[in-house]
Amino acid sequence: MDRWTTFDCYGTLIDWNAGIRAALAGIWPDDDPDALLASYHEVETGLEADGTRSYREVLTRAVVDVGAARELAVPVGAGASLAASVPSWLPFPEVSASLGRLRENGWRLAILSNTDADYLDASLSSIGVPVDERVVASDIGSYKPAFAHWGLPCVWINRLGESSRIPRAAELPDLSALPATLERLVPAG
């Protein structure tokens, strides 16, 4: 019997906050990078709500909306710079080794991501561990959580120590303990 585990990519495997913060700070170097990042997170969900925009379009529009929210002008030519930065976003330090251990232990890996296929390709290349399946917003025309994939044991990788009422079988600060946690939650065979 195959054992599967699914992951979100950005925020779980790839440090998207660092990537977004750096890109927005590059556009507005005199503003507070953390405030820019917070503004981004405030506008992103609304831009994804109807599922009609590509993630590239979401990111490009988010730059305009962050600028408007913070009363900052978007410099000429800077609108697409956040979208252009995605392939340079790096994985968290433990990700490649942890995913490699999962594969060595017979796990099949799947990614469910609110992104475009080419962005996911670049991110998976930087991780360096192959995945078996992927569900990408650009391929299915919707963004999570609209895609109903609940009913499976959920392990929340809570890197920021946030609170949530989402039911979960386990909560971890990073992927380091994930192989052992999944062995406990999903018995072999």
- In the chain the first and final C-alpha atoms are separated, in Å, by 5
Contact indicator for 39, 70 with CB cutoff of 8 Å: yes
% residues pLDDT > 90 (the chain) = 67
Q: b/e for 116-150, b at 16 or more Cβ within 10 A?
A: beebbebbbeebebebeebbbbbeeeebeeeeeee
| One-letter identity of residue 34 | D
For residues 117 and 105, give the distance between their C-alpha atoms in angstroms, rounded to a whole number.
Answer: 27
- Burial class of 34 by CB neighbour count within 10 A (0 to 12, 13 to 18, 19+): exposed
On the question of pLDDT at 146 being above 60, the answer is: no
Q: What is the pLDDT of residue 152?
A: 62
Q: b/e for 56-82, b at 16 or more Cβ within 10 A?
A: bebbbbbbebbbebeebebeeebbebb
DSSP 160: T
Tell me how far the alpha carbon of residue 16 is from its chain's centroid.
Answer: 6
What would the pLDDT profile of 22-53 be if each residue is shown by its tens digit?
A: 999 999 999 999 999 999 999 988 888 777 88
> pTM of the predicted model, to two decimals?
0.79
Which residue spans within the chain are E strands per DSSP?
3-7, 107-113, 133-136, 155-157, 170-172
Residue 166 pLDDT grade (very low, low, confident, very high; cuts 50, 70, 90):
low
